[in-house]
Every structure is written in C-alpha cells, then in structure tokens.
Amino acid sequence: MIQGDNVILKGLEPDDIKERHLWLNDPEITNYFTNLSSIHLSRNDLEKWYENISQKKSQEIHFSIFTKEPKHIGGAQLKSIDWKNRNAELGIFIGDKSKWGKGFGTDATKSLIFFGFNELNLHRIWLKVDPENLAALKCYQKTGFIQEGILREDVFRKGRFHDTIIMSILANQVLRKVNEK
C-alpha cells in the first residue's frame, strides 16, 4: 500500500475487477488508450488478464487507486520493468469521471514515482502519452516528466494515425528537487 496526499494505491485485487470492467468499456475513459480504445472487453477477458498479470509480478506491478474515504477511482501500474537497466513504464487512469480534474491523477503519479525510485530502486520511469490528452500531459509535466521524443503516427484511432509522446523522469531529478526544498 502506498499513501499519497489524497490517494492510496493498493495492490490490484479481484474485487476491483467489477469497476475496472465498467471503466475499460467506457470510450470516454479509454479514448487515449493505445490498446483498448475501440474494443469491447468482456468481464471474462479482464479476469483472464488479472490471472496473467499475477504471474508476471517481476515485470509488472498493478495498483488500484482509492481516495482516502476509501473509494475506488482508477488504476496505476509500473510495467515492462527492466531490472538490469532499472527502468519501467508508468501507466495510470482515473476511471471515476467525477474525480477528473481534481488532482487525484497527479497525486497517484507522484506516489507511483516515489515507490518506483525509493522502493524498487529504479533509475528511470518513462511513459507514452497522446499529445491530444492535455490533462495527462499537464499531470506528467507537473510531476517532473520531460519529453524525450515523438513516435510519429504511432497509433491508429478513429480513422487516422496519431503521434505518441515519450516522456521520462530520472531518480536524480526527484532527489535534486527534494534536496532543493
């Protein structure tokens, strides 16, 4: 369990699948997801996915995001963990639309960064984001991610290709910020 200022990240549990199933079949929520934006995900598919990721714990760590109340509002993950090179890909979503724009995603991102650098001893955390996803870009910039490059016409969505921005944050960036305070 990871405590943020306004969120708690808990390991993904089977009980969390019901809400995830609803969220991951909502086109407004999955609009910028590269792998789910146009497919229907059955509850059975999601349960199989959960069983599969449970066997990949050395490469992927999945969390459910809760408010302090506690209310389940989304999901977060570090995946493609490369232990040799000490890096991982960050992913996050707020599925409860009533919580959009209220800082929960930023708090969850900060908490996941802290966990990755301090608990997993990662050196670099990176992510992919659609340039049209302005809320996500704002969140990632606010938490210290820096744009590294653009994968041109990387994703086909809604009848056309879209670019993907690659961003990262390094452990020494975070340590420098802490020491400056």
Taking CA atoms, 86 is separated from 19, 114, 118, 144, in Å, by 32, 14, 12, 18
Residue 128 tokens, joined: 């992919």
Looking at residue 21, its pLDDT comes to 86
Which pairs with CB-CB distance under 8 Å and at least 24 residues apart come from 154-162?
A: 154/34, 155/34, 155/130, 157/31, 157/37, 157/38, 158/37, 158/38, 162/130, 162/131, 162/132
Largest CA distance in the chain: 49
Write phi, then psi, for 123 (nearest 5 degrees). Answer: -100, -35
- At 87-105, the pLDDT tens digits run 999 999 999 999 999 999 9
Average pLDDT on 65-75 reads 95
Q: pTM of the predicted model, to two decimals? A: 0.88
Higher pLDDT, 180 or 131: 131
pLDDT at residue 37, rounded to an integer? 46
Q: How far is CA 85 from CA 44, 111, 124, 125, in A?
A: 35, 21, 9, 11
Distance in angstroms (rounded) separating the CA atoms of residues 126 and 45 = 27
**Angle at alpha carbon of residue 140, lines to 101 and 109, rounded to 5°:** 75
Cis ω before 27 (30° cut-off from 0): no
Amino acid residing at 52: N
Using CB atoms within 10 Å of the CB of residue 28, give its burial: 0 to 12 exposed, 13 to 18 middle, 19+ buried: exposed
First to last CA, the chain: 26
pLDDT digits (tens, 9 = 90+) for 41-54: 778 887 887 877 77
